[in-house]
Structure 1
Amino acid sequence: MKEGKSVKFNHQQQHQNGHLSPSKFAKLLDPEASWDKDQLGDVLHWIRQALGLLFGLLWGAIPLVGGIWFILFLAISSAIIYGYYALILKVDEEEFGGHGALLQEGLFASITLFLLSWILVYSLAHF
């Protein structure tokens, strides 16, 4: 029983001293934070999914049609991902497999989500 209390106290003490971040979101904008390949890949993947959903809903609601809007989505989402890891996080892309590997994180899943939400919103709102 006493051992459980000391473990809880140590956890709270580490939390208060800043060893355990109260919010993992602070790391997302910290250029000094250290990233491993899996963590950065996951973050880039989920950012791309959010962008795919957001742009799909927006494109469908406006209503936009045509391949140019698909290409524009790819260009905008890739520019945002590049800006995030190169300009905000300032990671060395060579440590993570180069620009190609980082820009490809979550790309195909986000294309699917983008197209699904675009078509669904467009179909429901304009027919």
Structure 2
Amino acid sequence: MKEGKSAKLNHQQQHQNGHLSPSKFAKLFDPEASWDKDQLGDVLHWIRQVIGLVCGLIWGAIPLVGGIWFILFLVLSTSFIYGYYAIVLKVDEEEFGGHGALLQEGLFASVTLFLLSWTLVYSLAHF
């Protein structure tokens, strides 16, 4: 009986500390997992933020300049998000508001993060 309470307490502490349990991490790649609109939106938002930051750091470090690189970021980011929800998760996009709603999740925040990181790294590394 104490072991059951201890395991439940550990799970609650893990959840409160913000750590993902193995089952939640596995859900990110499970096409059979059930998603609600908010959960999927949060996952897509944070994936897009990571893509924006990584691309901004790389673009600034290389150094790349010009609008073509901004367009390439948009294409890469959108393609990755589409591939994730359509191919990996195999969700029915109509349940979540269609392709437009899913592809728009986190877009504007990631563009801002991308431009900020690109500009900062470029300015610090090449001046």
Aligned amino acid, residue 94 of structure 2: E
CA deviations over 1:23-58 (Å, ceiling 9, x no partner): 411000000000000000000000000000000000
Deviation for aligned residue 1:8? 1.4
Name the residue aligned to 1:17: none
1:8 and 2:5 equivalent? yes
Q: Give percent identity, aligned residues only.
A: 80
> Structure 1 runs of 4+ off > 3 angstroms?
none
TM-score (norm 2): 0.86
- Count of aligned pairs between the two proteins: 117
Flag the structure with larger Rg. Answer: 1
Separation of aligned partners in 1, 2:121 and 2:3: 53
Secondary structure of the residue aligned to 1:87 is helix
TM-score (norm 1): 0.86
Deviation for aligned residue 1:9? 4.8
Separation of aligned partners in 1, 2:88 and 2:102: 14
Secondary structure of the residue aligned to 1:29 is coil
Aligned amino acid, residue 88 of structure 2: I
Point out where structure 2 has 5 or more consecutive residues left out of the alignment.
Answer: 12-20
Separation of aligned partners in 2, 1:10 and 1:23: 15
Name the residue aligned to 2:96: 96
Point out where structure 1 has 5 or more consecutive residues left out of the alignment.
Answer: 15-20
Name the residue aligned to 1:35: 35
Name the residue aligned to 2:61: 61
Separation of aligned partners in 1, 2:87 and 2:22: 25
Aligned amino acid, residue 8 of structure 2: H
